[in-house]
Chain A
Protein backbone atom coordinates (compact mmCIF):
# COMPACT_ATOMS: atom_id res chain seq x y z
CA UNK A 1 0.00 0.00 0.00
CA UNK A 2 3.00 2.28 -0.41
CA UNK A 3 2.07 3.58 -3.85
CA UNK A 4 0.28 6.97 -4.11
CA UNK A 5 -3.45 6.58 -3.53
CA UNK A 6 -5.54 7.77 -6.49
CA UNK A 7 -9.03 6.72 -5.39
CA UNK A 8 -11.28 8.42 -2.82
CA UNK A 9 -11.43 7.29 0.75
CA UNK A 10 -14.78 6.78 2.44
CA UNK A 11 -14.84 10.22 4.12
CA UNK A 12 -14.09 12.06 0.85
CA UNK A 13 -16.65 9.99 -1.01
CA UNK A 14 -19.42 10.90 1.40
CA UNK A 15 -18.30 14.52 1.31
CA UNK A 16 -18.74 14.63 -2.47
CA UNK A 17 -21.98 12.66 -2.23
CA UNK A 18 -23.46 15.11 0.30
CA UNK A 19 -22.43 18.09 -1.82
CA UNK A 20 -23.97 16.51 -4.89
CA UNK A 21 -27.25 15.77 -3.12
CA UNK A 22 -27.46 19.24 -1.60
CA UNK A 23 -26.86 20.83 -5.00
CA UNK A 24 -29.41 18.54 -6.61
CA UNK A 25 -31.99 19.37 -3.94
CA UNK A 26 -31.29 23.09 -4.27
CA UNK A 27 -31.60 22.96 -8.06
CA UNK A 28 -34.83 20.96 -7.85
CA UNK A 29 -36.23 23.35 -5.26
CA UNK A 30 -35.30 26.33 -7.40
CA UNK A 31 -36.88 24.81 -10.47
CA UNK A 32 -40.05 23.95 -8.55
CA UNK A 33 -40.41 27.48 -7.17
CA UNK A 34 -39.81 28.95 -10.63
CA UNK A 35 -42.53 26.66 -11.97
CA UNK A 36 -44.92 27.84 -9.26
CA UNK A 37 -43.97 31.45 -10.03
CA UNK A 38 -44.78 30.77 -13.66
CA UNK A 39 -48.47 30.66 -12.73
CA UNK A 40 -48.40 34.28 -11.56
CA UNK A 41 -48.15 36.40 -14.73
CA UNK A 42 -46.17 39.65 -14.64
CA UNK A 43 -49.03 41.48 -16.31
CA UNK A 44 -52.75 40.97 -16.10
CA UNK A 45 -55.40 42.79 -18.05
CA UNK A 46 -58.01 43.23 -15.35
CA UNK A 47 -59.30 46.72 -14.51
CA UNK A 48 -57.11 48.82 -12.17
CA UNK A 49 -57.76 48.51 -8.46
CA UNK A 50 -57.63 52.29 -8.15
CA UNK A 51 -59.58 54.54 -10.50
CA UNK A 52 -60.84 58.10 -10.84
CA UNK A 53 -64.63 58.25 -10.54
CA UNK A 54 -65.47 61.75 -11.75
CA UNK A 55 -66.30 64.62 -9.43
CA UNK A 56 -68.78 64.84 -6.51
CA UNK A 57 -71.26 66.87 -8.56
CA UNK A 58 -71.65 63.96 -11.02
CA UNK A 59 -73.74 62.04 -8.52
CA UNK A 60 -77.30 62.40 -7.34
CA UNK A 61 -78.77 60.87 -4.21
CA UNK A 62 -79.19 57.12 -4.46
CA UNK A 63 -77.35 54.34 -6.24
CA UNK A 64 -75.20 55.03 -9.30
CA UNK A 65 -74.29 52.08 -11.53
CA UNK A 66 -71.82 53.69 -13.95
CA UNK A 67 -68.76 51.91 -12.45
CA UNK A 68 -70.40 48.55 -11.92
CA UNK A 69 -69.20 46.94 -15.13
CA UNK A 70 -65.44 46.70 -15.14
CA UNK A 71 -64.63 48.19 -11.76
CA UNK A 72 -67.34 46.40 -9.78
CA UNK A 73 -68.36 49.42 -7.71
CA UNK A 74 -71.66 51.14 -6.96
CA UNK A 75 -71.42 54.79 -5.97
CA UNK A 76 -74.00 55.47 -3.29
CA UNK A 77 -74.89 58.92 -2.07
CA UNK A 78 -77.07 59.49 0.95
CA UNK A 79 -77.12 61.90 3.90
CA UNK A 80 -74.44 64.07 2.30
CA UNK A 81 -71.96 61.24 2.06
CA UNK A 82 -70.66 59.52 -1.06
CA UNK A 83 -69.36 55.96 -0.66
CA UNK A 84 -68.06 53.23 -2.97
CA UNK A 85 -69.88 49.94 -2.46
CA UNK A 86 -68.42 46.60 -3.59
CA UNK A 87 -70.67 44.58 -5.90
CA UNK A 88 -69.44 41.21 -4.59
CA UNK A 89 -72.15 39.38 -2.65
CA UNK A 90 -70.90 38.45 0.82
CA UNK A 91 -72.57 35.06 0.61
CA UNK A 92 -70.62 33.25 -2.09
CA UNK A 93 -69.24 35.96 -4.34
CA UNK A 94 -71.79 36.47 -7.12
CA UNK A 95 -72.82 39.93 -8.31
CA UNK A 96 -76.22 41.23 -7.10
CA UNK A 97 -78.46 43.43 -9.27
CA UNK A 98 -79.73 46.86 -8.27
CA UNK A 99 -83.53 46.84 -8.43
CA UNK A 100 -84.56 50.53 -8.57
CA UNK A 101 -88.28 49.75 -8.18
CA UNK A 102 -87.70 47.89 -4.92
CA UNK A 103 -84.75 50.01 -3.78
CA UNK A 104 -82.62 46.97 -3.02
CA UNK A 105 -79.72 44.90 -4.28
CA UNK A 106 -80.76 41.33 -5.07
CA UNK A 107 -78.33 38.53 -5.76
CA UNK A 108 -79.48 36.16 -8.55
CA UNK A 109 -77.47 33.18 -7.25
CA UNK A 110 -79.09 32.50 -3.87
CA UNK A 111 -81.41 35.43 -3.24
CA UNK A 112 -79.50 37.62 -0.81
CA UNK A 113 -80.98 41.10 -0.51
CA UNK A 114 -79.33 44.35 0.59
CA UNK A 115 -80.65 47.85 1.27
CA UNK A 116 -79.32 50.71 -0.84
CA UNK A 117 -76.78 51.31 1.92
CA UNK A 118 -75.36 47.81 1.38
CA UNK A 119 -76.70 46.36 4.62
CA UNK A 120 -78.12 42.85 4.17
CA UNK A 121 -81.71 42.14 5.19
CA UNK A 122 -82.78 38.92 3.45
CA UNK A 123 -81.39 35.70 2.07
CA UNK A 124 -78.25 33.86 3.11
CA UNK A 125 -75.79 36.79 3.05
CA UNK A 126 -74.00 36.78 6.43
CA UNK A 127 -72.91 40.44 6.45
CA UNK A 128 -73.29 43.72 4.55
CA UNK A 129 -71.56 44.47 1.26
CA UNK A 130 -68.07 45.91 1.68
CA UNK A 131 -67.13 49.50 0.95
CA UNK A 132 -63.89 50.75 -0.55
CA UNK A 133 -61.52 53.57 0.33
CA UNK A 134 -62.70 56.77 -1.37
CA UNK A 135 -61.10 60.20 -1.31
CA UNK A 136 -60.75 63.48 -3.24
CA UNK A 137 -57.41 64.05 -4.94
CA UNK A 138 -55.65 67.42 -5.32
CA UNK A 139 -57.75 68.25 -8.41
CA UNK A 140 -61.00 67.61 -6.57
CA UNK A 141 -61.62 64.35 -8.42
CA UNK A 142 -63.01 61.30 -6.65
CA UNK A 143 -60.57 58.40 -6.33
CA UNK A 144 -61.73 54.90 -5.40
CA UNK A 145 -59.07 52.55 -4.01
CA UNK A 146 -60.34 48.96 -3.97
CA UNK A 147 -57.31 47.60 -2.13
CA UNK A 148 -58.60 49.04 1.17
CA UNK A 149 -61.85 47.52 2.44
CA UNK A 150 -64.25 48.87 5.08
CA UNK A 151 -66.74 46.54 6.75
CA UNK A 152 -69.92 47.73 8.41
CA UNK A 153 -70.00 44.97 11.01
CA UNK A 154 -66.64 46.19 12.28
CA UNK A 155 -67.92 49.78 12.48
CA UNK A 156 -65.54 50.81 9.71
CA UNK A 157 -68.12 52.65 7.57
CA UNK A 158 -67.83 55.60 9.95
CA UNK A 159 -64.11 55.80 9.16
CA UNK A 160 -63.52 59.09 7.23
CA UNK A 161 -61.51 57.10 4.68
CA UNK A 162 -64.68 55.22 3.71
CA UNK A 163 -66.69 58.21 2.42
CA UNK A 164 -66.42 61.76 1.07
CA UNK A 165 -68.59 64.62 2.28
CA UNK A 166 -70.53 66.12 -0.60
Chain B
Protein backbone atom coordinates (compact mmCIF):
# COMPACT_ATOMS: atom_id res chain seq x y z
CA UNK B 1 0.00 0.00 0.00
CA UNK B 2 1.55 3.29 -1.07
CA UNK B 3 1.70 6.30 1.23
CA UNK B 4 -0.60 8.32 -0.93
CA UNK B 5 -3.33 5.80 -0.95
CA UNK B 6 -3.07 5.50 2.85
CA UNK B 7 -3.60 9.25 3.21
CA UNK B 8 -6.50 9.01 0.82
CA UNK B 9 -7.93 6.09 2.74
CA UNK B 10 -7.72 7.95 6.08
CA UNK B 11 -9.31 11.05 4.60
CA UNK B 12 -12.23 8.98 3.43
CA UNK B 13 -13.02 7.41 6.80
CA UNK B 14 -16.12 8.49 8.66
CA UNK B 15 -14.02 9.69 11.63
CA UNK B 16 -11.95 12.02 9.44
CA UNK B 17 -14.97 13.32 7.59
CA UNK B 18 -16.87 13.96 10.79
CA UNK B 19 -14.02 16.20 12.04
CA UNK B 20 -13.08 17.95 8.79
CA UNK B 21 -16.17 18.92 6.81
CA UNK B 22 -14.26 19.99 3.71
CA UNK B 23 -11.98 18.51 1.10
CA UNK B 24 -8.18 18.86 1.05
CA UNK B 25 -7.02 22.52 1.04
CA UNK B 26 -5.72 22.34 -2.50
CA UNK B 27 -7.97 25.06 -3.88
CA UNK B 28 -9.09 28.53 -2.74
CA UNK B 29 -12.56 27.40 -1.71
CA UNK B 30 -11.31 24.61 0.57
CA UNK B 31 -8.59 26.79 2.06
CA UNK B 32 -11.29 29.28 3.03
CA UNK B 33 -13.35 26.43 4.46
CA UNK B 34 -10.41 25.39 6.67
CA UNK B 35 -10.53 28.76 8.41
CA UNK B 36 -14.27 29.31 8.36
CA UNK B 37 -15.05 25.82 9.60
CA UNK B 38 -12.79 25.95 12.66
CA UNK B 39 -14.05 27.58 15.84
CA UNK B 40 -10.58 28.90 16.74
CA UNK B 41 -9.36 29.85 13.27
CA UNK B 42 -12.59 31.56 12.30
CA UNK B 43 -11.69 34.48 14.59
CA UNK B 44 -8.93 35.10 12.08
CA UNK B 45 -9.50 36.61 8.62
CA UNK B 46 -9.94 34.02 5.88
CA UNK B 47 -7.67 35.95 3.57
CA UNK B 48 -4.73 38.17 4.44
CA UNK B 49 -3.24 41.04 2.53
CA UNK B 50 0.32 40.31 1.54
CA UNK B 51 1.48 43.31 3.58
CA UNK B 52 -0.30 41.91 6.64
CA UNK B 53 2.36 39.27 7.12
CA UNK B 54 5.32 41.60 6.55
CA UNK B 55 7.36 41.40 9.74
CA UNK B 56 8.73 44.92 9.29
CA UNK B 57 5.20 46.27 9.28
CA UNK B 58 3.50 44.46 12.19
CA UNK B 59 6.56 43.21 14.10
CA UNK B 60 4.16 40.33 14.85
CA UNK B 61 3.78 42.03 18.23
CA UNK B 62 0.09 41.18 18.69
CA UNK B 63 0.77 37.58 17.78
CA UNK B 64 3.78 37.43 20.09
CA UNK B 65 1.70 38.86 22.91
CA UNK B 66 -0.91 36.17 22.37
CA UNK B 67 1.77 33.49 22.20
CA UNK B 68 3.25 34.68 25.50
CA UNK B 69 -0.23 34.79 27.03
CA UNK B 70 -0.67 31.12 26.09
CA UNK B 71 2.77 30.27 27.52
CA UNK B 72 1.88 32.11 30.74
CA UNK B 73 -1.42 30.25 30.96
CA UNK B 74 0.29 26.88 30.64
CA UNK B 75 3.16 27.63 33.05
CA UNK B 76 0.72 29.34 35.43
CA UNK B 77 -1.60 26.33 35.56
CA UNK B 78 1.43 24.09 36.20
CA UNK B 79 2.55 26.33 39.07
CA UNK B 80 -0.95 26.13 40.57
CA UNK B 81 -0.44 22.41 41.16
CA UNK B 82 2.15 23.21 43.86
CA UNK B 83 1.60 26.77 45.07
CA UNK B 84 -0.65 27.32 48.10
CA UNK B 85 -1.92 30.90 48.58
CA UNK B 86 -1.68 31.07 52.37
CA UNK B 87 0.59 33.11 54.61
CA UNK B 88 2.03 29.89 56.00
CA UNK B 89 3.01 28.24 52.71
CA UNK B 90 3.13 30.82 49.90
CA UNK B 91 6.72 32.03 50.33
CA UNK B 92 8.16 28.57 50.92
CA UNK B 93 6.25 27.12 47.99
CA UNK B 94 7.78 29.73 45.69
CA UNK B 95 11.27 28.89 46.97
CA UNK B 96 10.51 25.19 46.62
CA UNK B 97 9.86 25.56 42.90
CA UNK B 98 13.62 25.73 42.44
CA UNK B 99 14.45 22.35 43.86
CA UNK B 100 11.42 20.44 45.06
CA UNK B 101 9.91 19.97 41.62
CA UNK B 102 11.40 18.92 38.28
CA UNK B 103 12.01 21.69 35.75
CA UNK B 104 13.01 24.18 38.43
CA UNK B 105 12.78 27.15 36.07
CA UNK B 106 9.01 26.86 35.66
CA UNK B 107 8.40 29.78 37.99
CA UNK B 108 11.15 31.82 36.34
CA UNK B 109 9.60 31.15 32.92
CA UNK B 110 6.30 32.45 34.23
CA UNK B 111 7.97 35.54 35.66
CA UNK B 112 10.11 36.33 32.62
CA UNK B 113 7.10 35.68 30.39
CA UNK B 114 5.10 38.18 32.43
CA UNK B 115 7.75 40.84 31.91
CA UNK B 116 7.97 39.99 28.21
CA UNK B 117 4.21 40.23 27.77
CA UNK B 118 4.07 43.72 29.24
CA UNK B 119 6.85 44.77 26.84
CA UNK B 120 5.23 43.20 23.76
CA UNK B 121 1.82 44.71 24.64
CA UNK B 122 3.37 48.18 24.73
CA UNK B 123 5.29 47.58 21.48
CA UNK B 124 2.12 46.27 19.82
CA UNK B 125 0.28 49.40 20.95
CA UNK B 126 3.14 51.54 19.66
CA UNK B 127 3.03 49.80 16.27
CA UNK B 128 -0.75 50.18 16.02
CA UNK B 129 -0.43 53.85 16.87
CA UNK B 130 2.41 54.54 14.44
CA UNK B 131 0.61 52.80 11.56
CA UNK B 132 -2.60 54.70 12.30
CA UNK B 133 -4.48 51.44 12.81
CA UNK B 134 -6.62 53.03 15.54
CA UNK B 135 -8.49 55.12 12.96
CA UNK B 136 -12.04 54.33 11.79
CA UNK B 137 -13.32 51.68 11.36
CA UNK B 138 -10.89 50.27 13.97
CA UNK B 139 -11.47 52.70 16.85
CA UNK B 140 -13.58 50.21 18.84
CA UNK B 141 -10.83 47.61 18.64
CA UNK B 142 -8.34 50.20 19.89
CA UNK B 143 -10.61 50.59 22.92
CA UNK B 144 -10.70 46.82 23.47
CA UNK B 145 -6.91 46.87 23.24
CA UNK B 146 -6.62 49.57 25.88
CA UNK B 147 -8.75 47.47 28.25
CA UNK B 148 -6.50 44.49 27.49
CA UNK B 149 -3.45 46.62 28.28
CA UNK B 150 -4.91 47.57 31.66
CA UNK B 151 -5.81 43.95 32.38
CA UNK B 152 -2.25 42.89 31.46
CA UNK B 153 -0.89 45.40 33.97
CA UNK B 154 -3.40 44.18 36.58
CA UNK B 155 -2.27 40.60 35.96
CA UNK B 156 1.29 41.76 36.67
CA UNK B 157 0.17 43.65 39.75
CA UNK B 158 -1.84 40.76 41.23
CA UNK B 159 0.93 38.28 40.43
CA UNK B 160 3.41 40.55 42.20
CA UNK B 161 1.91 39.72 45.62
CA UNK B 162 1.96 35.93 45.27
CA UNK B 163 5.66 35.34 46.22
CA UNK B 164 4.67 36.80 49.61
CA UNK B 165 8.10 38.24 50.36
CA UNK B 166 8.89 41.69 51.74
CA UNK B 167 9.06 43.23 48.26
CA UNK B 168 5.66 41.77 47.37
CA UNK B 169 3.89 42.85 50.56
CA UNK B 170 5.20 46.41 50.55
CA UNK B 171 4.84 46.90 46.82
CA UNK B 172 1.17 45.88 47.06
CA UNK B 173 0.77 48.03 50.18
CA UNK B 174 2.03 51.03 48.26
CA UNK B 175 0.11 50.13 45.09
CA UNK B 176 -3.21 49.40 46.77
CA UNK B 177 -2.99 52.71 48.63
CA UNK B 178 -3.93 54.23 45.28
CA UNK B 179 -7.38 52.67 45.73
CA UNK B 180 -7.61 54.67 48.96
CA UNK B 181 -7.61 57.84 46.85
CA UNK B 182 -10.57 56.78 44.66
CA UNK B 183 -13.11 59.65 44.51
CA UNK B 184 -16.01 58.97 46.91
CA UNK B 185 -15.30 55.21 47.09
CA UNK B 186 -11.91 55.38 48.84
CA UNK B 187 -11.59 56.70 52.38
CA UNK B 188 -8.73 59.05 51.52
CA UNK B 189 -10.11 60.23 48.21
CA UNK B 190 -11.85 63.45 47.20
CA UNK B 191 -15.50 63.49 48.24
CA UNK B 192 -15.08 60.80 50.91
CA UNK B 193 -15.03 63.44 53.65
CA UNK B 194 -18.43 64.69 52.43
CA UNK B 195 -20.04 61.28 52.82
CA UNK B 196 -20.75 61.54 56.53
CA UNK B 197 -23.81 62.03 58.67
CA UNK B 198 -22.81 63.90 61.81
CA UNK B 199 -20.12 61.78 63.46
CA UNK B 200 -20.96 58.75 61.35
CA UNK B 201 -18.38 58.31 58.57
CA UNK B 202 -19.90 56.46 55.62
CA UNK B 203 -16.65 55.79 53.73
CA UNK B 204 -13.99 54.46 56.11
CA UNK B 205 -11.03 52.10 55.89
CA UNK B 206 -13.32 49.17 56.65
CA UNK B 207 -15.86 49.63 53.87
CA UNK B 208 -14.14 51.39 50.98
CA UNK B 209 -12.86 49.97 47.68
CA UNK B 210 -9.43 49.31 49.12
CA UNK B 211 -11.00 47.06 51.75
CA UNK B 212 -12.88 45.28 48.97
CA UNK B 213 -9.64 44.73 47.06
CA UNK B 214 -7.61 43.56 50.07
CA UNK B 215 -10.30 41.89 52.16
CA UNK B 216 -8.92 43.83 55.10
CA UNK B 217 -7.45 47.12 56.24
CA UNK B 218 -3.93 46.11 55.30
CA UNK B 219 -2.17 43.55 53.09
CA UNK B 220 -2.72 40.29 54.96
CA UNK B 221 -3.74 36.73 54.22
CA UNK B 222 -7.19 37.68 52.81
CA UNK B 223 -5.41 39.96 50.33
CA UNK B 224 -3.15 37.09 49.26
CA UNK B 225 -6.15 34.87 48.57
CA UNK B 226 -8.03 37.61 46.72
CA UNK B 227 -5.06 38.45 44.54
CA UNK B 228 -4.54 34.75 43.84
CA UNK B 229 -8.14 34.34 42.64
CA UNK B 230 -7.96 37.54 40.60
CA UNK B 231 -4.62 36.50 39.10
CA UNK B 232 -5.42 32.88 38.30
CA UNK B 233 -9.13 32.90 37.52
CA UNK B 234 -10.97 36.17 37.18
CA UNK B 235 -8.65 38.39 35.13
CA UNK B 236 -7.45 35.60 32.78
CA UNK B 237 -11.09 34.71 32.00
CA UNK B 238 -11.93 38.32 31.15
CA UNK B 239 -8.71 38.63 29.13
CA UNK B 240 -9.54 35.42 27.22
CA UNK B 241 -12.98 36.72 26.25
CA UNK B 242 -11.59 40.12 25.23
CA UNK B 243 -8.81 38.53 23.18
CA UNK B 244 -11.50 36.66 21.21
CA UNK B 245 -13.38 39.93 20.67
CA UNK B 246 -10.12 41.66 19.71
CA UNK B 247 -9.21 39.08 17.06
CA UNK B 248 -12.77 38.91 15.74
CA UNK B 249 -12.86 42.67 15.31
CA UNK B 250 -9.54 42.65 13.43
CA UNK B 251 -11.28 40.39 10.94
CA UNK B 252 -14.56 42.33 10.90
CA UNK B 253 -12.85 45.72 10.59
CA UNK B 254 -11.08 44.67 7.39
CA UNK B 255 -8.04 42.75 8.59
CA UNK B 256 -4.72 44.20 9.67
CA UNK B 257 -4.49 47.73 8.31
CA UNK B 258 -2.36 47.95 5.20
CA UNK B 259 0.50 50.36 4.53
CA UNK B 260 -0.71 53.52 2.86
A46 touches B173 (CB 8 A): no
In the assembled complex, the Cα of A132 lies from the Cα of B174 at a distance in Å of 22
B211 touches A40 (CB 8 A): yes
B217 touches A39 (CB 8 A): no
B203-224 vs A: 1/0 string, CB under 8 Å?
A: 0100100011001111010100
A44 touches B174 (CB 8 A): no
Contact of A44 among B173, B177, B216 (CB under 8 A): B216
A166 partner residues in chain B, CB cutoff 8 A: none
In the assembled complex, the Cα of A92 lies from the Cα of B216 at a distance in Å of 17
B215 partner residues in chain A, CB cutoff 8 A: 39, 41, 44
A93 touches B216 (CB 8 A): no
- Any chain B CB within 8 A of the CB of A109? yes
Residue of A nearest to B217 (CB): A46
In the assembled complex, the Cα of A154 lies from the Cα of B216 at a distance in Å of 28
A18-38 vs B: 1/0 string, CB under 8 Å?
A: 000000000000000000100
A109 touches B174 (CB 8 A): yes
A147 partner residues in chain B, CB cutoff 8 A: 204
In the assembled complex, the Cα of A92 lies from the Cα of B220 at a distance in Å of 17
- Any chain B CB within 8 A of the CB of A99? no
Residue of B nearest to A39 (CB): B212
A86-124 at interface with B (beta carbon < 8 Å): 92-94, 108-109
In the assembled complex, the Cα of A92 lies from the Cα of B172 at a distance in Å of 11
B220 partner residues in chain A, CB cutoff 8 A: 46
With A40-B207, A40-B211 already in contact, the answer to whether A46 and B216 are too (CB < 8 A) is yes
B212 touches A93 (CB 8 A): no
A46 touches B170 (CB 8 A): no
Within the complex, the shortest CB–CB distance from A111 to chain B, in Å, comes to 13
A92 partner residues in chain B, CB cutoff 8 A: 173-174, 177
In the assembled complex, the Cα of A46 lies from the Cα of B222 at a distance in Å of 10
Within the complex, the shortest CB–CB distance from B227 to chain A, in Å, comes to 13
A94 touches B174 (CB 8 A): yes
A109 touches B207 (CB 8 A): no
Residue of B nearest to A92 (CB): B174
B100-137 at interface with A (beta carbon < 8 Å): none
B203-260 at interface with A (beta carbon < 8 Å): 204, 207, 211-212, 215-218, 220, 222
Within the complex, the shortest CB–CB distance from B216 to chain A, in Å, comes to 6
Residue of A nearest to B173 (CB): A93
A94 touches B207 (CB 8 A): no
In the assembled complex, the Cα of A141 lies from the Cα of B37 at a distance in Å of 78
B217 partner residues in chain A, CB cutoff 8 A: 44, 46
With A46-B216, A93-B177 already in contact, the answer to whether A109 and B211 are too (CB < 8 A) is no
B173 partner residues in chain A, CB cutoff 8 A: 92-94
A46 partner residues in chain B, CB cutoff 8 A: 216-218, 220
A109 touches B218 (CB 8 A): no
In the assembled complex, the Cα of A40 lies from the Cα of B207 at a distance in Å of 7
B174 partner residues in chain A, CB cutoff 8 A: 92-94, 109
What are 27 A-B contacts defined by CB distance under 8 Å?
A36-B212, A39-B212, A39-B215, A40-B207, A40-B211, A41-B215, A41-B222, A44-B215, A44-B217, A44-B222, A46-B216, A46-B217, A46-B218, A46-B220, A92-B173, A92-B174, A92-B177, A93-B173, A93-B174, A93-B177, A94-B170, A94-B173, A94-B174, A108-B170, A109-B170, A109-B174, A147-B204
Given contacts A40-B211, A92-B173, A92-B177, 20 further A-B contacts (CB under 8 A): A36-B212, A39-B212, A39-B215, A40-B212, A41-B215, A41-B222, A44-B217, A44-B222, A46-B217, A46-B218, A46-B220, A92-B174, A93-B174, A93-B177, A94-B170, A94-B173, A94-B174, A109-B170, A109-B174, A147-B204
Q: List the 10 closest A-B pairs by CB distance, nearest first.
A: A92-B174, A93-B177, A39-B212, A93-B173, A94-B170, A46-B216, A44-B216, A109-B170, A46-B217, A92-B177
B: which residues have CB within 8 A of A? Answer: 170, 173-174, 177, 204, 207, 211-212, 215-218, 220, 222
